[in-house]
Structure 1
Amino acid sequence: HRFGSVESDIFLVGKQLLVAHDPVELDPTRTLESLYLAPLAARVKANRGSVYRGQRKPLQLLIDIKTEGASTYLELDRQLRRYRHLFTTYAHGRVFPGAVTAVISGDRAARVPMEAQTVRRAFYDGRLLDLLAPAPAPASFIPLISDNWTLNFTWQGVGTFPEVERQKLRGIIAAAHSRRQKVRFWATPDLAGPARDAVWSELLAADADYFNTDDLAGLEAFLDAHK
């Protein structure tokens, strides 16, 4: 579908990072390595250094930690080191681009071990509070600002978008962009129809960087129609 970001939910079970959205879906054969890391490595090798054939654009791998953040991240970091050639890397104050950029979301406790590292192969998914902080973290640590749409906006795509909320949305995105950070809202309407299209249209007009959806074909068609 030509998108530049995918999301994987992970649980730490023993020493394994299992991929599932809910605990009842856990399967020891469905690991982060087997479903994402190894296939991405093979793809990048086949495409001579890129996830996308003939294109150098990076893929964002958004990893949503569902178990305790610090311990899960430490195991994740160990696994990412095995695929160090794949990933954008922060090292001693500098960022070295790679074919895949890992961004860590989910349990907030992952932030502590991440901030302590002088070398890491992942970045942190911030929240609006991080954008508004008196001394905000740089884009070299927080390249992405994400938050829950329903906690910040009352409008769900029905009727007119209140102008005060439109200006709030555009202000958030402009502030993030001024710091070289990108913006994502989750919990936007995701049922096909006019309400979803209305919200997507406002996000597009405001220059939002990522749209959250489970309907990949629907978003692809929408974006193609709004080039």
Structure 2
Amino acid sequence: MRLNHLLLVVSFLLSTFAQVQAEEIATVLPRAHAHNDYLHKRPLQDALSHGFNSVEADIFLVDDQLLVAHSHQEIHPQRTLESLYLEPLKQRVKAGDGKVYPNAPPFRLMIDIKSDAETTYAALNIMLAKYADILAQVHDSKFQPGAIEVVISGNRPQQTIAAANSRYAGIDGRLGDLGGQKAKHLMPLISDNWKSHFKWNGAGEIPAAEKEKLRQLVRRTHDEGRAIRFWGTPDTLAMWRVLDECGVDAINTDDLSGLAKYLNGEALSQKN
């Protein structure tokens, strides 16, 4: 009885916390993406408190555990994908009447696989199945929307994911995948390294030719019904403004408060 009572109390507290968090959000930022979110003081929660609708977590498979870390040296057995992200998101969705945020698009959870692609994804797929009630998923090639859309990046077992009869995640594509035949629900997002395609470093004005190139890449991606993101973008006001003006769907940042203020139209001190 004592154990059951304790579990009920914990569940109530988590639900209450999730509800309070949801009420704290004045503005949801559908295009704000928390890069390496787990490095913040409060993984996931800091991003949610700023209204971010997309977060990224790197994972390693260690002794059958999916652990969140940027490198092997940073691995800690208590920092699991489930405890830092999946369970809090489940409580948030439960408290939010089926959504992470009210009246907002599905929340994106990007999972960047750092260890072996096949074995890590196999363990991840089993884990995600436990949270099927909150996840977008595909069965027999039919897409079923959910409160949270999981996208696999990093070491991506693309053939395994594509061949699965049932899955709970899509693939993070690259610019080279544009023009292919992959279904939108299989590859909902196109991400690439900014420095591999542009010379502008986020200081001063972007050259007109590069800005037009960016617009064309965004247009091509949108014509296929996919979203677009770049990593390796400097956290400068000029960079955010260019990405915003050109229609980039997920603006990558490590500066949560800075990007939130920009997207909310608040005055910022110049960041180059």
TM-score calculated relative to the size of structure 1: 0.92
Query: Amino acid of the residue matched to residue 202 of structure 1?
Result: V
Are 1:204 and 2:253 matched, yes or no?
no
Q: Distance in 1 between matches of 2:232 and 2:51?
A: 22
Name which structure has the greater RCO, CA cutoff 8 Å, separation 6+.
Answer: 2
Query: Amino acid of the residue matched to residue 158 of structure 2?
Result: R
1:186 to 225, 231, 242: 231
Q: Distance in 2 between matches of 1:120 and 1:106?
A: 18
The residue number in structure 1 matching 2:192 is 147
Q: Distance in 2 between matches of 1:43 and 1:3?
A: 14
The residue number in structure 2 matching 1:39 is 88
**Over residues 135-160 of structure 1, what are the superposed CA-to-partner deviations in whole Å (9 max), with x where a residue is unaligned?**
33121210000000011100012233
Q: Distance in 1 between matches of 2:206 and 2:58?
A: 32
The within-5 A match list for 1:150-165 is 150-165=195-210
Secondary structure of 1:6's aligned partner: strand
The residue number in structure 1 matching 2:136 is 88
Q: Distance in 1 between matches of 2:185 and 2:97?
A: 26
- Indicate conservation of the 8 Å contact 1:63/1:105, yes or no: yes
Query: Amino acid of the residue matched to residue 251 of structure 2?
Result: F
- Indicate conservation of the 8 Å contact 2:205/2:238, yes or no: no
Q: Distance in 1 between matches of 2:250 and 2:132?
A: 25
The residue number in structure 2 matching 1:193 is none
Instruction: Give the Å deviation of 1:74.
Output: 0.8
Secondary structure of 1:90's aligned partner: strand
Runs of 4+ in structure 1 deviating by more than 4 angstroms, as ranges, are none
Q: Which runs of 5+ in 1 are unaligned?
A: 191-195
The residue number in structure 2 matching 1:29 is 78
- Indicate conservation of the 8 Å contact 1:70/1:111, yes or no: no
**Over residues 83-127 of structure 1, what are the superposed CA-to-partner deviations in whole Å (9 max), with x where a residue is unaligned?**
11010011222211101100000013x212101102111000000
1:18 to 63, 67, 77: 67
Secondary structure of 1:4's aligned partner: strand
- Indicate conservation of the 8 Å contact 1:138/1:179, yes or no: no
Are 1:169 and 2:214 matched, yes or no?
yes
Are 1:122 and 2:162 matched, yes or no?
no
**Over residues 196-216 of structure 1, what are the superposed CA-to-partner deviations in whole Å (9 max), with x where a residue is unaligned?**
111111111111101111110
**Over residues 158-185 of structure 1, what are the superposed CA-to-partner deviations in whole Å (9 max), with x where a residue is unaligned?**
2331222111111111011011100000
The residue number in structure 2 matching 1:79 is 127
The residue number in structure 2 matching 1:57 is 105
Whichever of the two has the greater Rg, that structure is 2
Q: Distance in 1 between matches of 2:182 and 2:213?
A: 21
TM-score calculated relative to the size of structure 2: 0.77
- Indicate conservation of the 8 Å contact 2:204/2:238, yes or no: no
The residue number in structure 2 matching 1:3 is 52
Query: Amino acid of the residue matched to residue 96 of structure 2?
Result: N
Q: Which runs of 5+ in 2 are unaligned?
A: 1-49, 267-272
Secondary structure of 2:158's aligned partner: helix
Q: Distance in 1 between matches of 2:135 and 2:232?
A: 28
Count of aligned residue pairs for this structure pair: 217
Aligned-residue Cα RMSD (Å) equals 1.3
- Indicate conservation of the 8 Å contact 2:202/2:233, yes or no: no
Are 1:69 and 2:143 matched, yes or no?
no
